[in-house]
Homo-oligomer: A and B are copies of this chain.
Amino acid sequence: MSTNREIHLASRPQGWPTADNFRLVETEVPTPGPGQLVVRNRFISVDPYMRGRMNDVKSYLPPFALDAPLDGGAVGEVMTSEADGFAPGDTVLHGLGWREYALVDAKAARQVDPNLAPLSAYLGVLGMTGLTAYAGLLDVAAMKPGETVFVSGAAGAVGSMVGQIAKLRGAARVVGSAGSPGKVERLRSLGFDAAFDYHDGPVRDALRTAAPDGVDVYFDNVGGEHLEAAIGAMNPHGRAAICGMIAQYNATEPPAAPRNLALLIGKRLTLRGFLVGDHGHLREQFVQETAGWLRAGKIAYDETVVNGIEHAPAAFLGMLRGENLGKMLVRL
């Protein structure tokens, strides 16, 4: 029997996580019971929301257990199957990442076609991050053609999709913020009308220059100063889809901003938090529309790929520090 390797949560991070919070553990490759599959993972996803699950607090998902494997989006090949409709060689998407071999309930696995798109796309542009962008922009924030859209963390997996979908759906102007000159350059090449590096000065000032006529839709991946600046820049009846607040996931003190929430009243603004899991009804429409854009070469997507399960913690930590361009993935 060959060996399986997986990443356990060794201890709960206080503030920024470190490599010490993770442990590489060797186990045996599992054997499927009735209705189960064993999947050899090929790509696993590391995402910002996972940071929250490392805390021992009640939230929309239970916290990760200590001394047990982490989980998250993964795509891989069925090795053995005890479930109808799945055979060795099938490619499936499921939720048990952070390990080389996963024992998956067939009900929690979804067949994907490896000939339609690269495997990694099912974790990104055609997967959870793509649907997050699509649902947040079009459903939660209800963007209309002709509007101005601001996206924070715009060079990330979600943000870069938000900006491109906004343009494809008729936004008049799309503005993105990112954390390095190279990312800002990339946003311009992706078709953003304006982009800025939030290290260069107050977000408020940069946003005023980038969106002189104000912002109608704000897609928030960052929180804090970005959210405050967006509220300040928003036009009457503006909507913010609150997807993430990565600026504060590792904070040990509560954030000071935004301090301008009273503007919600006079400007009739809406701030709406969302989780992609509530928007599964859009999946079919999203996949069809996005696959069409991909075939037509209208959407580009970046991936930052790290090789080997043993480097998954480093990939996760790098993603939190913004070292990725586009989707951060681990190839196994």
Contact stretch, chosen from A79-87, A180-188, A256-264: A256-264
Q: In this assembly, does A273 line the interface, its C-beta being within 8 Å of a C-beta of chain B?
A: yes
- Residues in chain B near residue A255, CB distance under 8 A: 259, 261
Kindly identify, within residues 221 to 255 of chain A, every residue whose CB is under 8 Å from any CB belonging to chain B. Answer: 223, 227, 236, 242-245, 248-249, 254-255
Number of A positions contacting B (CB below 8 A): 34
CB contacts under 8 Å to B, within A261-318, are 261-275, 278
Query: Please, which residues of chain B bring their CB within 8 A of the CB of A242?
Result: 261, 264-265
* Chain B: minimal CB distance from A195 (Å): 24
Quickly give the copy total for this chain.
2
Contact (Cβ within 8 A) A266 B60: yes
Query: Inside 8 A of A259's CB, which chain B residues have their CB?
Result: 254-256
Is B272 touching A270 in the complex (CB atoms < 8 A)? yes
Contact A274 B278 (CB under 8 A): no
Tell me which residues from 135 to 171 in chain A have a Cβ below 8 Å from any Cβ of chain B. Answer: none
Given contacts A60-B236, A236-B60, A256-B256, contact A223 B268 (CB under 8 A): no
A269-B140 Cα distance, complex, nearest whole Å: 11
Asked, given contacts A60-B236, A236-B60, whether A260 binds B254 with beta carbons under 8 Å apart, the answer is yes
Q: Which residues of B contact A266 (CB under 8 A)?
A: 52, 59-60, 273, 275
Contacting pair B268 A271 (CB below 8 A): no
Cα distance A266–B53 in the bound complex, in angstroms: 11
Contact A272 B261 (CB under 8 A): no
In the assembled complex, the CB of A249 is this many whole angstroms from the nearest CB of chain B, namely 8
Give Cα A242 to B275, complex, Å: 22
Q: How far is the CB of A258 from chain B (nearest CB, A)?
A: 7
With contacts A268-B275, A270-B271, A273-B269 taken as known, whether A261 is within 8 angstroms of B223 at the C-beta atoms is yes
Question: Complex: how many Å from CA A273 to CA B238?
Answer: 10
B271 touches A245 (CB 8 A): no
Nearest residue, chain B, Cβ from A263: B273
By the criterion CB–CB under 8 Å, are A273 and B267 in contact? yes
| Contact among B249, B265, B275 with A275 in the assembled complex (CB-CB below 8 Å) | B265
| Interface contact A268-B273, CB-CB below 8 Å | yes
Q: Which of chain B's residues have a CB closer than 8 A to the CB of A264?
A: 242, 271-273
Which residue of chain B is the closest to A244 with respect to CB atoms?
B265
B-side contacts of A273, CB under 8 Å: 263-270
A264-B275 Cα distance, complex, nearest whole Å: 10
Apart from A261-B271, A266-B275, list 20 A-B contacts with CB within 8 A.
A60-B266, A60-B267, A223-B261, A227-B261, A242-B261, A242-B264, A244-B265, A245-B265, A248-B262, A254-B259, A254-B260, A256-B256, A256-B259, A265-B273, A265-B274, A266-B273, A268-B274, A268-B275, A270-B272, A270-B273
Give me 22 A-to-B residue pairs in the complex whose CB atoms sit less than 8 angstroms apart, sorted by A's number. Answer: A52-B266, A60-B236, A242-B261, A242-B265, A244-B265, A245-B262, A245-B265, A249-B262, A254-B260, A255-B259, A255-B261, A256-B256, A263-B273, A264-B272, A264-B273, A265-B273, A268-B272, A268-B273, A268-B274, A268-B278, A270-B270, A271-B272
